[in-house]
Amino acid sequence: MRRSWLFALLAIVASFALVGTVLATHLPTNHNTTDLTTLVRGTIVDTFKYNVGDTKVQTKGPVDVVVADVSFPALASAGWHNHPGPVFVIVTSGRLSVWTASCVKHEYYQGGPEGAAFFEPGPESSLLVKNESATIAAQVKATFIVPPGTTALRTGTAHLCGIAE
């Protein structure tokens, strides 16, 4: 009788091991991965102030301008994050959902009612940016204005609105 319990226990353990192996090798490992590729980075050494019509841009010291490609595979997320400076983002393909710190969701895509471009204000505000499609990747071009030598992205900011990454 002890042997039959031992064989039953071994069969259960082997079944769990087999299921775990199948899941580990056949399911995607991490949907929360975006790929940021810096295309070019340059420093503006002098301060400047530009104010014409509805457009105002000003720096108070040197800044780096970083242009990057960011890929969002299906179901990928940049997580709750912010940046050390402002960012201008253009969705070139796919759709992105963006939650603001005030828990408002926006959708950006080519031809969409909210447009294909959005603005990330910088270190004072965290955003969640996600590709909610299970089948279609999204691609963006982003222009960051950041202090010289700093990274363009800060991850791991507080989760807001009860929305998971």
Does 63 have pLDDT greater than 90?
yes
Amino acid at 2: R
Specify the CATH architecture of the domain 35-155.
Sandwich (2.60)
Instruction: Indicate the helix (H) or strand (E) that contains 18.
Output: helix 2-26
Q: What is the pLDDT of residue 165?
A: 66
Does 53 have pLDDT greater than 60?
yes
pLDDT band at 2 (very low <50, low <70, confident <90, very high): low
Q: How many CA atoms lie within 13 A of 125 on its CB side?
A: 16
Domain segments of the chain as ranges:
1-29, 35-155
Cβ count near 130 (within 10 Å) = 24
pLDDT digits (tens, 9 = 90+) for 109-150: 999 999 999 999 988 888 999 999 999 999 999 999 999 999
- C-alpha separations of 105 from 24, 27, 112 in Å: 33, 29, 14
Q: What is the pLDDT of residue 9?
A: 44
pLDDT band at 59 (very low <50, low <70, confident <90, very high): very high
Task: Provide the total of helices (H) and of strands (E) in the chain, helices listed first.
Answer: 1, 12
